[in-house]
Amino acid sequence: MAQRHVKLSHVEAQKLYPFRTSVKSFLDAYPTVKSIQVEVRPVGEGFEPFRDMTEWVEVYNEKSIPAILDCRNSRCFGGGPDLAYLVRWSVIEPKRTEFETTMRCRGHLGSPRGRRNDGPCDTFFKVKVNVVYKDAAEVKE
């Protein structure tokens, strides 16, 4: 029997990466970063806002940023944005201070019990990242 509504965080938790090490915090992983703010706005047909909301915005900083967000679409399986990959390769490696993009959900729609695959998820994620880097003197300390 298929698992019900498996989200991206569950899929990634089952994978074994040979060279992945655990880091205590975001700032330990990126010593040149002083602070970061990430705004995520899920939009699209598959997005279900709470109650009477027209838009949902999730805001994270260096203390609260998750590596992976799960898609909030109730029919989505294995979906959501990989924030760790996006932040590392699109923002911090090229040393950008501001970055905006729209990401498509990587999951697929399915029946409530996950037996049927109805195609790709219709949810998109608008992501805005602002980073403040440390001065050269602060990095050496």
Cα distances (Å, whole numbers) of residue 81 to 7, 15, 31, 138: 11, 17, 24, 31
Q: What is the mean pLDDT of residues 33-62?
A: 83
Q: Residues 18, 10, 118, CA angle at the centre, nearest 5°?
A: 120
pLDDT class of 122 with cuts at 50, 70, 90: confident
Q: What is the pLDDT of residue 112?
A: 66
Q: What is the pLDDT of residue 1?
A: 38
